[in-house]
Chain A
Amino acid sequence: MVKVLIIGEHDGKALNQATLKCVTSAKGLPEAEITIVLLGADTTAVASQAAAVLGVHKVLRVDRPENAHPLAAIFAPQIAALAADFTHVFGPSTSFGKDLTPRVAALLGVPQISDLMAVESAYRFRRPIYAGNAIITVEADPARKLVATVRVASFEAAPATGGAAPIEQRTVTAALPTHTRYIGAKSGSTDRPDLQTASKVVSGGRALGSAENFKLLFNLADKIGAAVGASRAAVDAGYAANEMQVGQTGKIISPEIYIAIGISGAIQHLTGIKDARTIVAINKDAEAPIFEVADYGLVGDLFQIVPELQRLV
């Protein structure tokens, strides 16, 4: 029997959408029984959200003060201990999951499949390599526990309601290290939708020319309710914050609509957006590679086009 333990991501208040995408990926395994585990200082609110997700069999809570912040060195031994009852352990391919899940795999002495994008059977999956320039099919040995991170852009979110899974508080007797301490976080967060899960994304490249000019995109984004992203070139040039980067080494996203403005379309950037439902490209260079993947292309000066676009939408 396939029993999947999904490492739930949350901020103490809300369950991250990435967890719902992990649930969908796990539903692809034949006859899978899906459990979400939540580590935190107090996961009461998040646990009821997880229990309501359609297709979830059980929710495990591990509440203790040491779990107040998601430190891999502290979470991993607890997840590894809980994994004993499961055949599969899935984490999301977010900065949280990518940090934590390999540490769990190593403690279990098993390999990890990173960024699984398609499920072919309980032990056969597809994943991208070389920035998505190749897709490999990987088989793991059923005799071993299977640990994977789920490429969240490849799966739809499972319905957040309709489920009624039982919630269990667990105590884990694992020795927790004190060598890693949380100091603080600085988030560039705004009232705009979260880039990783937004259905609309407006994104800018080096052609914006300055951080000041990025306000054009923020204004457009606010009018249509979109998140704002950026190419690596724009981030490196200091026009946009690090967490806005979309691409191989930034965020890999799958919005309903992605509007690329002044982005030429380097392969590393395209890796981050190729699961977008619709891609719109606005660029003054008609030969820019972004037009090879765009559903709708508009050639012209973004400084004329973007204000006009904002008027008409």
Chain B
Amino acid sequence: MQKIMVCIKRVVDYNVRVRVKPDGSGVMLDGVKMSVNPFDEIALEEALRIKERVGNVEIVAVSIGVADTQQQLRTALAMGADRAILVQTDAAIEPLTAAQAFLSLAKKENPDLIFLGKQAIDDDANQTGQMLAALWERPQATYASKLEITGSKATVTREVDAGLETIEIDLPAVVTADLRLNEPRYVKLPDIMKAKKKPLDVVSLDSLGIAAAALLKTVKTEPPAQRQKGIVVKDVAELVDLLKKKGLL
């Protein structure tokens, strides 16, 4: 185990209540707080813990997006990544394009592991890790809740609908982090200062020979249909009576 690449995404902060623009052209993002996608923080934390266990592992945080994404990569460096690479573009990035860009970085960096969050909380697509694994022609272990590395293999416990599934994969491989893989550390002020001196390379998407194809066109953005607020009942007997009348019990 020599190198781990962690892919992170700049997203609207978890605590922001996102609102749709009145003209339906998208969601309101002006002045909204941006953060590292929470699942990607878990992915990075797992890489840092492997480094702490094994020692002598280089952790490279990478991202694709606008120039300001350097802020999120600085956060990753403050958490403990050794260096960072931003694939800079102003274009809207679909998961397939992100996967192509990360593949290009993976071919240069040759990491033993690539970590990502299982999904980004903005587009909720849940695709990039799987697509990257396919293009890289390597194993994928999605929705990881536990990871053990033995030599050139990893045993991964995955959160699936029926419970937990365990698979064994050969490295190099792609692992996507689920909620309960770990709890990410808090960044301390001295680490933020130190992170400013760590290397952060910026490359353009064009320089990787990748075109930001808009393969899917978003033609409209709407607020979701709201449920009607119901009634408050006075006691259990009234509730049971109503539910029985509606044939729900």
Q: Please tell me if A99 contacts chain B, counting CB pairs below 8 Å.
A: yes
Contact A298 B17 (CB under 8 A): no
Q: Which of A139, A242, A278 is within 8 Å of B216, CB to CB?
A: A139
Contact A115 B127 (CB under 8 A): no
Q: Does A105 contact B (CB under 8 A)?
A: yes
Contact of B138 among A179, A257, A294 (CB under 8 A): A179
Report B-chain residues with C-beta under 8 Å of the C-beta of A1.
Answer: none
- Which of B18, B130, B179, B240 is A99 in contact with, Cβ under 8 Å? B130
Q: A128 to B224, Cβ gap below 8 A?
A: yes
Which of B135, B233, B249 has its CB near the most chain A CB atoms (within 10 A)? B249
Q: Does A163 contact B (CB under 8 A)?
A: no
Chain A residues positioned under 8 Å from B140 (CB to CB): 72-73, 99, 103, 180
- Chain B 102-131 per-residue mask, 1 if CB under 8 angstroms from chain A, else 0: 000000000000000011011111111011
A133 to B142, CA, bound (A): 25
List of B residues within 8 angstroms of A274 by Cβ: 224, 227
Roughly how many angstroms separate A312 CA and B249 CA in the complex, as a whole number?
10
- Closest residue to A274 on the B side, CB-wise? B227
- Per-residue A-contact encoding for B206-249, CB less than 8 Å = 1, 0 else: 00000000011111111110011111110111011011001011
**In the bound complex, what is the Cα–Cα distance between A273 and B222 (angstroms)?**
19
B162 touches A (CB below 8 Å) = yes
Interface bin, chain B: 35 or more
Asked whether B161 lies within 8 Å of A102 as measured between CB atoms, the reply is no
Q: What DSSP secondary structure best describes chain B's contact surface?
A: mixed
* A131/B124 in contact, CB under 8 A: yes
Residues of chain A with a CB closer than 8 A to B178's CB? 249
Kindly identify which residue among B127, B145, B161, B236 contacts A105, using a CB–CB cutoff of 8 Å: B127
- Interface stretch, picked from B62-70, B83-91, B165-173, B193-201, is B165-173
Whether A129 and B122, one on each chain, are in contact in the complex, defined by CB atoms closer than 8 angstroms, is yes
Whether A256 and B161, one on each chain, are in contact in the complex, defined by CB atoms closer than 8 angstroms, is: no
A292 at the interface (CB under 8 A from B): yes
A-B contact count (CB 8 A): 243
| Binary CB contact string for chain A from 257 to 274 against chain B (1 if under 8 A, 0 otherwise) | 100000000010000001
Question: Does B99 sit within 8 A of A, measured CB to CB?
Answer: yes
Contact B243 A114 (CB under 8 A): no
Check if A30 is an interface residue, CB within 8 A of chain B. no
Measured as residues with beta carbon below 8 angstroms from the partner, the interface class of chain A is: 35 or more
- Closest A residue, CB atoms, query B223: A134
Q: Looking across the interface, which residue of chain A has its beta carbon closest to that of B136?
A: A106
Q: A256 is contacted by which of B166, B235, B239, B248 (Cβ under 8 Å)? A: B248
B194 to chain A, nearest CB (A): 31
How far does the Cβ of B246 sit from chain A's closest Cβ, in whole Å? Answer: 7
Within the complex, which residue of A102, A124, A141, A296 is in contact with B131, where a contact is CB–CB below 8 Å?
A: A102
Which residue on B lies nearest to A129, using beta carbons? Answer: B123
**Chain B residues in 8 Å Cβ range of A241:** 163
A135 in contact with B135 given A95-B160, A187-B162, A267-B17 (CB within 8 Å): no
Q: Does chain B have a CB within 8 A of A112?
A: yes
Q: Residue B215 contacts which of A72, A103, A140 (CB distance < 8 angstroms)?
A: A140
A298 touching B232, Cβ below 8 Å = yes
Contact indicator per residue, chain A 73-103, by CB within 8 Å of chain B (1) or not (0) = 1001000000000000000001110111111
Task: List residues of chain A with CB within 8 A of the CB of B132.
Answer: 106
**Chain B contact residues, CB within 8 Å of chain A:** 12, 17-20, 27, 94-96, 99, 118-119, 121-128, 130-135, 137-140, 142-143, 145, 155, 158-170, 173, 178-180, 215-224, 227-233, 235-237, 239-240, 242-243, 246, 248-249
Nearest first, the 8 closest Cβ-Cβ pairs linking A and B are A187-B163, A295-B230, A106-B134, A102-B130, A106-B131, A102-B127, A137-B220, A183-B166
Q: A-side interface residues toward B, CB under 8 Å? A: 71-73, 76, 94-96, 98-107, 109-115, 124, 128-141, 144, 177, 179-189, 196, 200, 224, 232, 236, 241-243, 248-249, 251, 256-257, 267, 274, 278-280, 286, 291-299, 305, 308-309, 312-313
For the A-B complex with A129-B123, A185-B162, A188-B163 known, give 18 more contacts whose Cβ atoms are closer than 8 Å: A102-B131, A105-B131, A106-B134, A112-B125, A136-B220, A137-B219, A138-B216, A139-B217, A139-B219, A177-B139, A200-B248, A236-B180, A243-B164, A248-B124, A279-B230, A293-B227, A294-B230, A312-B240
